[in-house]
Amino acid sequence: MHTKASPWIWSLYDFANSLANIMLSFYFSLLVVTTLGKSDAWVSIPVALTTILLLFTLPYLGSVTDRMRRYKPALAITTLLSIAALFLLGLSAAHAATSPFAFGGMVVFYFLFQYFYQAAFGFYLPFLQTLSKTHTRSWVASLGFAIGQFGNIVGLVIAYPLIASSFSLLGLTKVPLVFCLGALLFLVCYAIFHWYFHEEAYAGVEVRSIFPHSLRDLLGQLAALKHEKNVLWYLITYYLFADAILTLQLFASLYLDQVGHLASGPKTLGFIIGILCGCIGALLTPRLIGKIGNLKRTVSGTILVWTILLFGFAFAEGTIQMMTLLALNGFAFGALFSLSRIMYSKIIPPDEPGRYFGIYVLFERFASILGPLLWSLTTYIFTFTGPETKYRFAVGVLGILVLISYSVLQQVKEEYRSPD
């Protein structure tokens, strides 16, 4: 492996997938709810179904790549399939307003993109263990997350003028064009990553089939967590606060539209400011750890700060308050998710990163069941309060979930298996 360049080349993948995903997450809910007039359940239910499929596949596939000691081929397959799904989603979206068949296809491709996009992380994050042999773990994890947030900014900057104009390419315009372009840019950036990132050569075990021999074999990958109580407690912690951010990512543009009453331009600017602050928060993670002097206390403190900021966001009034709270939430989110990668990579068994990072991704996806459904349930229960207030209650519920994650984190012992 070319160790001197690896952290930067590795982080290019974070940039590539974030660039494409932000285009989809920012505009898909608006397309479905505002443009097509459909229920937001068409956004949340496919994501929930994705999680169920990940539950029955990702931990096992992670263990297969651990035995093979090869992660790059699996990363290539899942990434290319996610790119294809996003491109086909864009083509379907172009006709979704007039054709029920095209709308159904759009939802199916949305489901497929969510699955392959998330599955790819199970094969990408294990490289953090290898890179940490020659670079500090906090720097590698922070760099990857920060570059990913920068990819979000670039994606929004590219998408906004296309959404605001009538520019057409090959018959595609506005949101469908943005989705297809996001897929193509993802492909180009991934090709650069794939060419320059070299996986270390290991003597792995020959695997004749990637498929499990039985359902018991498959579920056994998750059942083994009962012997890893420390990892399990942290995964529950991660599940709860990831629940909040994943749900906000799905519905933030809708929230700014309905509650903040922001036009498309200010709404995009608000997202960019929040994401930029997320980059700063991620890059400052090593300094935060050094300043506080303890990794677990740093994670705990960041969770508490983020809880306060979420409640503040739920009560924000006016454009200035909304933008300020969005920026501060972005900073806390960037710091917390960067810290999470660092802490988790230190408490898992160092010789099984594929399986354990597969489970890590899976717990994040479990949030895609509870979080969006909880959001939809909250907005349904408080419909009588009006379109603005019901969404404020939904954000407040997410703040409660993050606060609960702080209590669960206290059960995690500081037993680190990997050095800095």
Token readout for 234 is 């942290």
pLDDT value for 285: 85
Q: Which residues pair with 172 in a beta bridge?
A: 169
What residues contact residue 313 under an 8 Å CB cut-off, 6+ apart? 322, 325, 326, 329, 395
Distance CA 174, CA 165 (A): 7
pLDDT value for 202: 46
- Is residue 169 within a helix (H) or strand (E), and if so which, with residue range? strand 168-169
Q: Which residue has the higher pLDDT, 363 or 191?
A: 191
pLDDT value for 135: 63
- H helices of 31-99, in order, are 41-55, 58-68, 72-93
Give the three-class secondary structure for 173.
strand
- Checking if the pLDDT of 55 tops 80, the result is no
Token readout for 298 is 């740093």
pLDDT value for 417: 61
Say which DSSP state 32 is in. I
**Rounded to 5 degrees, what are φ and ψ at 262?**
-90, 140
pLDDT value for 2: 40
- Checking if the pLDDT of 281 tops 50, the result is yes
Q: What is the pTM of this model?
A: 0.70
pLDDT value for 406: 92
pLDDT band of residue 206 (cuts 50, 70, 90) is: very low
Of the candidates 301, 315, 253, 259, the residue with the CA atom closest to the CA atom of residue 22 = 253
Q: Residues 367-415: pLDDT tens digits?
A: 566 777 788 788 888 888 887 888 888 888 888 988 999 999 998 887 7
- Checking if the pLDDT of 133 tops 70, the result is no
Token readout for 99 is 């054709």
Q: Which of 222-226, 294-298, 321-325, 345-349 has the lowest mean pLDDT?
A: 222-226
- Checking if the pLDDT of 169 tops 70, the result is yes
Token readout for 308 is 């306060």
DSSP E strand stretches across 60-173: 168-169, 172-173
pLDDT band of residue 81 (cuts 50, 70, 90) is: very high
Please name the residue that has the structure tokens 């050095």.
419
Distance CA 312, CA 308 (A): 6
Domains of the chain: 6-199+216-409 (1.20.1250.20)
Token readout for 228 is 């890893």
pLDDT value for 342: 83
pLDDT value for 212: 41
- Average confidence (pLDDT) over 313-329: 85
